[in-house]
Structure 1
């Protein structure tokens, strides 16, 4: 059996974060009926899992000596993890995961999935209630949800005629169904009221473009560039190109041509992605950065480190900036980053990696907190269809800092309201605050924002298979040679 890492172009090294809908580490595969397998098949798959985990896993010295090889592969994988526990293992693993279909895993990591094309946040309808609402955070252009008329801020209270509750929201929203009839609610005098409006949407296989929008504002003598970027993905699934990175480059070329001297980077819904795309974006922003400067370093386990040093040298563990002609750092003294608890992994890497080179001011709420990364491991022989994403390294910026496992606390805290304004609208609270920090005055009155005091249950972004994992590809080599 040829057990190797999936070989992809070097620039597709990526950092992706695994977030959860609720506290704990529930994976998307938990919602799929398991395929029936025999004990012998389980043992074959589990031996493959164990062999690779003992070589690559960041906590490989914590793997049990004699795990039960007869149980289902997903359960076996969980059983050998150095699982996070707030008391017993505060340094433990919150992010490793496995999926039954390696091809689906690869597609999801490039932003392709079966989706309606809208992302939403889940809240209890009121304090103490068991009823749930889903508020639309954004809608992808040209997606089924966009065609159905959905927009940011819409509130969904029913799915297929059923009121959403704490006991049925998983089955209604995440069970793999593709046909939905969404019933809407609205705010009336600070009260959520169900309406008769419904919208039918059929999920399809859809490639999401992570570059959501960009604008340039001229305010208070400043020229402000604004970019909403929702996942670090260099190109569409099955592409060997760099289409999305090129699109970001073109935006910064325009920023440079227009004399942008302040930058607002909106990563509030960006759960992570490829480290190469993170490095590309950072290289367009950083002050006095080029290919000689370190963006971040990696720490691997003690088993792999000597081998990797011997085979590839110390540069294997270093991600440097890229020299970019579109870089606007010479015009910047600082960068403002808009954040929520959905800001994670490669997004946090931007914050941590740029801080040694310029002032990074965060506005919003505390980020997720993920400073570790993973690799995609598949069986190239095709005998085993599973794919796994174990944590294999921890990241540090050029000053050796990696102290954000509980997230970055915002310099300026701003909560998103219940009545959401469009992204890019200067009255939208987070962008409005950034522009205030830049100019010292409110360029537009904030819209009347209904405070959002509803308990949050999580978001569709956190459930998304490609969202928020810190992943890097390794050169292909056989574990047996270690």
Structure 2
């Protein structure tokens, strides 16, 4: 693939999912998967380490957004994952709040690429983990959603189910990672019930076996009518244009068709449900923006990408200034002219390309793109996938290479978007799309003034969140490349 085609299709942005580095994991206890054909890090020879590390350093010195912060003499005898970690410009909430939280490396570039396109080995359910009670070390899981047709779906697991044990062992802060993500494809979940007295264990169990699954990120859509308000609603869980390995943008086309239906039905209000969307392709984000933004003209900017001072002159010389911009395209199914505002449902799992859409749309609606839920994750930077397609080096990297801005040059969401109305999801959740579901109900009220459900207070016990399976997901990338000879990386 020519570098321009690989790069210009637009930058990938996603939350670090199945990562090797504890420094950039959102769940430092998660054990990464590795390809069976790769050599374990602990047994890699020093000479092999140095070869891989030379490759890592060469690429990072050229493309990494903070390449001027890479140590002068890093230790190349370290294992590749440790070496990669050692050269990052690491985030620290106090001393370096603008540092890197997101770059990662994996031992198998093939697995990395598959996961970035929504394909992974999974039971088919996403969940959030909480401390069972304040001060406890016991952990419970709450099912957020289940992929249709997946093993979890076939086993009868549904959104709102709560589980307290895996394979007969109670989840705790010290064992949950091993039980949930450790060896063995078959897991047996023991369900619990949410009662007025607290969480009560049951004898009800569900056994599921993980399979390699391609998730359709366009989860559901609906149109609701409240008086003169025609509200379009879409649940979109990952910015991926099409299935892994496919050249057809199946999922982008599906979104286009949904907005065609919205337009035909006269939709004049829009709710985007990004609460479980960790990011993905900017090309898909821009395609979605083209269906929503008002007043799209020639070269209407959706995203501007700022790269480091080393690579920027070379990119600009070779490809021109348009390389750094993603422009909106007016689409036949655009509904922007009928909209005065947009509502987006968010949680801490809403990240990257999801946040880029919020930021990118705001200038087109006079900043009236509102969020409901909880504060989003805060990722205003983008990454690329770098692999060695000679086959000699099996590792794959996903380093941060750029920072994202909208048409008004705004990029001030590194701490996340704070919601207009804070709404927390309860443990016993209503189905997605149910107008009495807490977050959707609040958005409908904000739009129409109609309460579809009693606005109850959030649970009296605010449970401590300790992790989520969403944090292990990646988004998608169309930037798999080796270094182009026209843009040589140092040391290669």
In which range does the TM-score fall when normalised by the shorter chain?
over 0.9
| Aligned-partner SS, 1:357 | helix
Q: Are 1:310 and 2:317 matched, yes or no?
A: yes
* Aligned counterpart in structure 2 of residue 398 of structure 1, from 407, 419, 423: 407
What runs of 5+ residues in structure 2 fail to find an aligned partner? Answer: 35-39
**Deviations, residues 301-324 of structure 1 (Å, cap 9, x unaligned):** 000010000000100100111221
Residue 5 to residue 76, structure 1, CA distance change in 2 (3 Å): farther
* Aligned counterpart in structure 2 of residue 17 of structure 1, from 15, 18, 25: 15
Question: Within 5 Å, which residues of 2 pair with 1:201-216?
Answer: 201-216=208-223
Indicate if the aligned counterparts of 2:231 and 2:270 stay in contact, CA closer than 8 A: yes
Partner Cα separation in structure 1 for residue 197 and residue 23 of structure 2 = 33
Shift of residue 220, structure 1, vs aligned partner: 2.5
Shift of residue 419, structure 1, vs aligned partner: 1.7
What runs of 5+ residues in structure 1 fail to find an aligned partner? Answer: none
**Deviations, residues 333-385 of structure 1 (Å, cap 9, x unaligned):** 01000011111000000110000011101111100000001100011111000
Question: Within 5 Å, which residues of 2 pair with 1:278-357?
Answer: 278-357=285-364
Residue 312 to residue 474, structure 1, CA distance change in 2 (3 Å): farther
Residue 146 to residue 448, structure 1, CA distance change in 2 (3 Å): farther
Match of 1:376 in 2: 385
Indicate if the aligned counterparts of 2:61 and 2:489 stay in contact, CA closer than 8 A: no
Residue 115 to residue 418, structure 1, CA distance change in 2 (3 Å): same
| Aligned-partner SS, 2:130 | strand
TM-score relative to the length of structure 2: 0.92
Match of 2:257 in 1: 250
| Aligned-partner SS, 2:48 | helix
Partner Cα separation in structure 2 for residue 366 and residue 19 of structure 1 = 19
Shift of residue 29, structure 1, vs aligned partner: 5.7
Residue 29 to residue 172, structure 1, CA distance change in 2 (3 Å): closer
Q: Are 1:160 and 2:187 matched, yes or no?
A: no
Shift of residue 11, structure 1, vs aligned partner: 3.6
Match of 2:202 in 1: 195
Partner Cα separation in structure 2 for residue 14 and residue 434 of structure 1 = 29
Q: Number of matched residues?
A: 478
Q: Are 1:480 and 2:488 matched, yes or no?
A: yes
| Aligned-partner SS, 1:403 | coil
**Deviations, residues 133-178 of structure 1 (Å, cap 9, x unaligned):** 1100000000000000000000010000100000100101122431
Match of 2:468 in 1: 459
Match of 2:154 in 1: 147
Residue 366 to residue 349, structure 1, CA distance change in 2 (3 Å): same
Residue 346 to residue 472, structure 1, CA distance change in 2 (3 Å): farther
* Aligned counterpart in structure 2 of residue 420 of structure 1, from 393, 417, 429: 429
Indicate if the aligned counterparts of 1:345 and 1:470 stay in contact, CA closer than 8 A: no
* Aligned counterpart in structure 2 of residue 178 of structure 1, from 177, 181, 185: 185
**Deviations, residues 251-280 of structure 1 (Å, cap 9, x unaligned):** 000000000000010000001000000001
Residue 224 to residue 363, structure 1, CA distance change in 2 (3 Å): same
* Aligned counterpart in structure 2 of residue 438 of structure 1, from 424, 430, 447: 447
Indicate if the aligned counterparts of 1:98 and 1:389 stay in contact, CA closer than 8 A: yes
Q: Are 1:261 and 2:268 matched, yes or no?
A: yes
Residue 23 to residue 266, structure 1, CA distance change in 2 (3 Å): farther
Q: Which stretch shifts more, 201-210 or 288-297? A: 288-297
Indicate if the aligned counterparts of 1:292 and 1:321 stay in contact, CA closer than 8 A: yes
Shift of residue 50, structure 1, vs aligned partner: 0.4
Match of 2:37 in 1: none
| Aligned-partner SS, 2:163 | strand
Shift of residue 477, structure 1, vs aligned partner: 1.4
Indicate if the aligned counterparts of 1:235 and 1:242 stay in contact, CA closer than 8 A: yes
Indicate if the aligned counterparts of 2:165 and 2:189 stay in contact, CA closer than 8 A: yes
Partner Cα separation in structure 2 for residue 442 and residue 44 of structure 1 = 62
Match of 2:85 in 1: 78
Partner Cα separation in structure 2 for residue 59 and residue 449 of structure 1 = 41
**Deviations, residues 76-127 of structure 1 (Å, cap 9, x unaligned):** 0000001111232221100000000001000000000000000000000000
Match of 1:117 in 2: 124
Shift of residue 433, structure 1, vs aligned partner: 0.6
> Which stretches of structure 1, 4 residues or more, deviate above 2 A after TM superposition?
3-14, 17-35, 443-452, 469-476, 478-482
| Aligned-partner SS, 2:283 | helix
Residue 179 to residue 475, structure 1, CA distance change in 2 (3 Å): closer
Indicate if the aligned counterparts of 1:252 and 1:327 stay in contact, CA closer than 8 A: yes
| Aligned-partner SS, 1:311 | helix
Shift of residue 442, structure 1, vs aligned partner: 1.0
**Deviations, residues 193-249 of structure 1 (Å, cap 9, x unaligned):** 000000100000000000000000011221100000000000000001100000000
Q: Are 1:67 and 2:100 matched, yes or no?
A: no
Indicate if the aligned counterparts of 1:115 and 1:203 stay in contact, CA closer than 8 A: yes
Partner Cα separation in structure 2 for residue 114 and residue 462 of structure 1 = 15
